[in-house]
Amino acid sequence: MPAVQETVDRVRRIDVDQYRYGFETLIESDKAPKGLSEDTVRFISAKKNEPAWMLEWRLEAFRRWLTMTEPTWARVDYPKIDYQDLYYYAAPKPKKQVASLDEIDPEILKTYEKLGIPLREVAVLEGVVSPDGEAAPERSRIAVDAVFDSVSVATTFKAELKKAGVIFMPISEAIREHPELVKKYLGSVVPTSDNFFATLNSAVFSDGSFVYVPEGVRCPMELSTYFRINERNTGQFERTLIIADKGSYVSYLEGCTAPQRDENQLHAAVVELVALDDAEIKYSTVQNWYPGNSEGKGGIYNFVTKRGDCRGRNSKISWTQVETGSAITWKYPSCILRGDNSRGEFYSIAISNGFQQVDSGTKMLHLGKNTTSRIISKGIAAGRSQNTYRGLVTAHRKATGARNFTACDSLLIGDKCGAHTVPYIEAKNASATFEHEATTSKISEDVLFYCVQRGLSQEEAVGLVVNGFVKDVLQQLPMEFAVEAQKLISISLEGSVG
């Protein structure tokens, strides 16, 4: 996907401090009053023109949230969040209803241009001339649902997807246009009562993506969402719901960037995936939210609940993540292997540098017969960061023939960082086969010197060695996304040595 590769190239040219995505778009925005109450929830619901049932759903979540306490089991440490001191909704003020791309605020389009996102359908389709006057390279086809702060500002490729019967739209629109699907599936994988952050999200989510792939359809293109947090003190609460009906296939890419901020910003997303009989969902993430500055000030708090339900027989869900950003990452993309012969996969690269704290991993819950899962986790800790893999693999009493393979490798760069592995395994069925391998190593000075002797700079050498270390996971990403990820990995490790 040259589009994402360009993203990095363009962003590299924008020299804003260390963080390459640290620019701010000056647009007026429409905010809910500060703080969280039933009124905030009503405000958001009204802003979205939501039907009454949706408001009820949110309010129920909100009331539940009031009774919950923030979890503390993760190996992350941060000052207490004042939930009343945040804005829960910010939308770019639309001058009018957005019907086509031409009507979008040029400031917003410019921001996306800096990020290199192919918002303009025509550019994506035709490979037209880029702003520098060079002919854009051949592009592969990606539909983009861009979320600017809380509102999806544009959805491309809608028409073509429609022809295939694929629904790909902001979830706020889906609530109005496909209430039957939303009602049936929303909260069916991550219930409103699931956990503190997911419940909060259920109450105040503002937007996100909705995907429905009908029976037997192979989605004709990769679907992609770029998230971006722009408004100061705004928590961003996306909600994504993807349903792959029987025998269908979809690959979804999520990329995130956020501008530089001094205040910490709360981000609590929920992603729900449902795969019915013989369906397959491949979900890839590149997360590079602002990690905070070199003293550990600022940065995104990223508390995400991602879960896939292999509801049907022979279904498959695969999570691939490249986590390089955020001050705090709390994230466990999981699979419920309910259908017989279903398969779950988790491929993860988690990089922490500076003062970043990552607590991430997965859960593979084997419920059906002959279900299989595979976990490959690569953690890289540099600077003064802490990087924890936390995993849970369970086999239900009835899950005969369940099989899991887990490999967790950690790489340490320098001696002020930490890598931790916390695997939980629970087999209630004697026929389950769970394999677990774990390694922790330090980046080798001899290997770095070898590279440097051959002409690579110290930083290029670290980038190369780390990219080699994570290769097994990079291979799981769609090819063009892998190129972006590879560059991000090098960027995020800048300043980690020497």
Partner 1 sequence: MMALLEVKDLQVRVEDREILHGLTLTVNQGEVHAIMGPNGSGKSTLSHVIAGKPGYEVTGGEILFKGEDLLAMAPDERAAKGVFLAFQYPVEIAGVATMNFLRTALNAQRKARGESEFSTPDFLRKVREVAKSLNIPQDMLKRGVNVGFSGGEKKRNEILQMALFEPSLCILDEMDSGLDIDALRIAADGVNALRSPERAMVVITHYQRLLNYIVPDFVHVMSRGRVVKSGDKELALALEASGYAQFEDAA
Q: How near is the Cβ of 380 to partner 1 at its closest, in Å?
A: 13
Nearest CA to 429 out of 401, 455, 449 is that of 401
Place of tokens 């792959």: 244
Of 14-22, 207-215, 321-329, 455-463, which part binds partner 1 (CB under 8 A)? 455-463
Nearest CA to 240 out of 287, 193, 202 is that of 202
Q: How near is the Cβ of 453 to partner 1 at its closest, in Å?
A: 5
Instruction: Please say which residue, 300 or 470, places its beta carbon nearer to partner 1.
Output: 470
Considering only 84, 431, 439, 457, the residue that binds partner 1 (CB under 8 A) is: 457
Stated as kind and residue range, the H or E segment containing 92 is: strand 90-92
Residue 453 touching partner 1 (CB under 8 A): yes
Of 8-16, 61-69, 359-367, 448-456, which part binds partner 1 (CB under 8 A)? 448-456
Residue 26-65 contact track with partner 1, rule CB under 8 A, x = bound? ----------------------------------------
Q: How near is the Cβ of 456 to partner 1 at its closest, in Å?
A: 5
Place of tokens 């299989």: 372
Instruction: Please say which residue, 71 or 468, places its beta carbon nearer to partner 1.
Output: 468
Q: How near is the Cβ of 469 to partner 1 at its closest, in Å?
A: 6
Question: Distance of alpha carbon 319 from its chain centroid, rounded?
Answer: 10
Distance of alpha carbon 254 from alpha carbon 236, whole angstroms:
15
Question: Distance of alpha carbon 102 from its chain centroid, rounded?
Answer: 28
Residue 451 touching partner 1 (CB under 8 A): yes
Q: How near is the Cβ of 472 to partner 1 at its closest, in Å?
A: 8
Considering only 53, 78, 424, 450, the residue that binds partner 1 (CB under 8 A) is: 450
Instruction: Please say which residue, 297 or 416, places its beta carbon nearer to partner 1.
Output: 416
Both tokens of residue 338? 């309910």
Of 175-183, 257-265, 385-393, 439-447, which part binds partner 1 (CB under 8 A)? 439-447
Distance of alpha carbon 35 from alpha carbon 382, whole angstroms:
36
Residue 393 touching partner 1 (CB under 8 A): no
Using an 8 Å Cβ cutoff, are 302 and 292 in contact? no
How many Cβ atoms from other residues are within 10 Å of residue 72's Cβ? 7
Q: Residue 91: what are its φ and ψ, rounded to 5°? A: -125, 145
Residue 415 touching partner 1 (CB under 8 A): no
Count of residues near partner 1 by CB under 8 A:
23
Distance of alpha carbon 375 from alpha carbon 364, whole angstroms:
9
Q: No. of H helices and E strands in the chain?
A: 13, 23
| Dihedral angle computed from the Cα positions of residues 213, 7, 293 and 235, in that order, rounded to the nearest 10 degrees | -30
Distance of alpha carbon 147 from alpha carbon 228, whole angstroms:
7
Considering only 66, 431, 444, 479, the residue that binds partner 1 (CB under 8 A) is: 444
Residues from 459 through 478 that contact partner 1 (CB under 8 A): 460, 464-465, 467-472
Q: Contact residues for partner 1 (CB under 8 A)? A: 444-447, 449-458, 460, 464-465, 467-472
